[in-house]
Amino acid sequence: MRCLPYLCLLLLAPICRADTPPTDQPTAFLTTIGSGWTAMEMPADGVPATSFGVRPVRALLTTLRQGEDGLVADFALEMLAQQRHMPSLVLDSRGHGDSITGRLDSLLLGGQIGKVELSAGIGQDWRGHLRPVLNVRAPFRLPLLRDVWISGGMGGPDGPLLEAGWAVRGSGSFATLGWRRDRGLIGRAGIQFDGKALAEPWFRRSRRPDGGRFTDIGLDQSPGMALRAALLETGSPPPARITVSSHRLGLPGVAASVAGSDLDALSRHRISPAEIRRNSQFQRAPTPESLSHRWEMQADVFNEFEPGPRGSPWSSRTSVGGRLHLLPFVGVILTAEGRIAMASNIGWPRREPPSAGRDDAALYLYRRYSLDRVQVTFVRALSPSVDLLVETGHLDPMYGGGGVELRYQPWRARWSVGTVLHQVWKRPPRVQTLYRGTGQLTGFLTGEWEGQDGGTRSNLSLGRYLAGDWGATYALSRQFGTGVTWAIDATVTTGSSRIGLTLTLPLIGFGQHVDTVARVRVRPMARENAERLDRTLTLSDLRFAAGYGRVVRDWDHGMGRVR
């Protein structure tokens, strides 16, 4: 089981690319939009350090790396994109979470002279002193090495530098060897992934559409293909108008009314999906009258990491699990999830009894076999704009209880607001009961925005966390088609702060009921503060999967595909 993280990287290797390899210095030239990467550096003192990074959207690049005191976060915000006669403008902030002496905030302009990339600006260090920041990167080609570059700069966190790098064309691999005034010689090697090349499940097959008049659409399924399959089940000749509706586990999505003549022309390839979309009528779907399938299952491989200080062992957990959803009635979901795991180097709780937070997570994560969830969920659309979710049971591997979520989103809007409230108790690690006296009320006000690309979501939550601390969480995720999802979440509370990165990659679907995924998550694993419930069902996910934005965005692509 310890080999599973490396097998995941081998799966990703064929779709890697290195158009703009990542750097550990302030620069106005960021990596390719939609890319993620992992790299290892070996400095002169022989103590290695690893970094992870992702740029899910144009505006934001985030890197997590091992620092002297633990996990360190760097951010780059592209405020203006480079145009023909205009330089790019990037705000770079690095050293969050490490010693304050490693902080550096920079404002950089970037432009190209031929193929040479020039970044220049001003930076402010931890003392508040200003200094010039300069970075120059000159790519060129050699007969055997091909993609090679030399870069140099000044004003970075490690002082003046000089570096040479080599990227293996088409493989995403890259290597650099450089000198920094404050750290000496440093070698780096890494691999970069392109999210746009993973816009489908890894084995190019998702769960088969159920073909019902009320069709269930999951996040790894193409909405256009699912609605096409439902439309083609109406028989021949088609009626004057045909209406099919999407839903996700019983929560209504969108209803599409299509002219029968358009459907007949589609079957004979005499009309484009875009023409059908323009001729169709959309509205919020009604509550499903019946369900085409009553159960579904997801199997997964899950790798969790918490990089420690440079040179120290990582906290990690690798597990395989299965999650089963049963739908005995419309709007009622019975969920059970079990897991087989192997964990290492997770810190034990420092006090007895443990707090209401997750500082005693090791007692749960070290379990070889666990029943993580057993719960009952009720979902219903109270109106075309208001949805309700009520859940009770073992909602989280460490907590049980009950709660309610209410969400308002006009059916064609890309924004939403909502509130969620739970009363939970901590579960004993090895007994399926609840600890008495550990009751905690946790709740949030939420606001969410969906991007025009049909795959980007950003969410801001304000409220009370499991340990009783108050704060805010910002989460940003982007799914490419029906494939890979990059996600970033950052939390700041009165007690602590944390940041995490998550990669979710659908693998393959079997029939109408089973799909498989691989997940990798980098974030703190055993903390008292800044922790919230790890819910498996949320109104945001259910509404987004079968909602208007995702359906319309995928209509032309999915409706025109022949499975």
- Number of domains present in the structure of the chain: 3
Residue 354 lies in domain: 295-538
Is there a domain that residue 544 lies in? no
Place of tokens 């790894």: 220
Confidence at residue 5, expressed as pLDDT on a 0 to 100 scale? 46
Is there a domain that residue 14 lies in? no
Q: Are 152 and 163 in contact (CB under 8 A)?
A: yes
Whether residues 175 and 46 share a domain: the answer is yes
Whether residues 98 and 151 share a domain: the answer is yes
Whether residues 236 and 385 share a domain: the answer is no
Whether residues 386 and 428 share a domain: the answer is yes
Is there a domain that residue 306 lies in? yes
Whether residues 325 and 384 share a domain: the answer is yes
306-325 pLDDT, tens digit per residue, is: 988 888 888 899 999 999 99
Q: Could you tell me the CA-to-CA distances from 389 to 19, 124, 137, 406, 456 in Å, in that order?
A: 44, 47, 52, 7, 23
Confidence at residue 46, expressed as pLDDT on a 0 to 100 scale? 84
Is there a domain that residue 301 lies in? yes
Confidence at residue 352, expressed as pLDDT on a 0 to 100 scale? 67
Confidence at residue 561, expressed as pLDDT on a 0 to 100 scale? 64
Tokens of residue 147, six digits: 């993609």
Is there a domain that residue 445 lies in? yes
Place of tokens 């940003």: 476
Whether residues 416 and 430 share a domain: the answer is yes
Which CATH number goes with the domain that contains 48? 2.40.160.40
344-365 pLDDT, tens digit per residue, is: 888 888 766 667 889 889 989 9
Q: Is 215 exposed, middle or buried, given 0-12, 13-18 or 19+ CB atoms closer than 10 A?
A: buried
Rg (CA), the chain: 25
Helix pair 260-267, 223-231: axis angle to 10 deg: 100
In order, the DSSP letters of 244-272 are EEEEETTEEEEEEEEEHHHHHHHHTT-S-
Is there a domain that residue 5 lies in? no
Is there a domain that residue 534 lies in? yes
Characterize 397-434 residue by residue with b for buried, 16 or more Cβ atoms within 10 angstroms of its Cβ, and e for exposed: bbbbbebbbbbebebeebebebebebebbbbebeeeeb
The Cα–Cα gap between 85 and 188 comes to: 34
pTM score, whole prediction: 0.91
Is there a domain that residue 455 lies in? yes
> Could you say which residues of the chain have pLDDT below 70?
1-19, 169-171, 235-236, 351-354, 561-563
Whether residues 168 and 218 share a domain: the answer is no
Whether residues 80 and 134 share a domain: the answer is yes
Whether residues 186 and 312 share a domain: the answer is no
The Cα–Cα gap between 361 and 366 comes to: 8
In order, the DSSP letters of 163-217 are EEEEE-TTT-EEEEEEEETTTEEEEEEEEEEEGGGGSS-TTS--PPP---SEEE-
Whether residues 273 and 324 share a domain: the answer is no
Whether residues 275 and 333 share a domain: the answer is no
Confidence at residue 171, expressed as pLDDT on a 0 to 100 scale? 67
Whether residues 315 and 274 share a domain: the answer is no
Q: Are 478 and 465 in contact (CB under 8 A)?
A: no
Q: Are 407 and 461 in contact (CB under 8 A)?
A: no
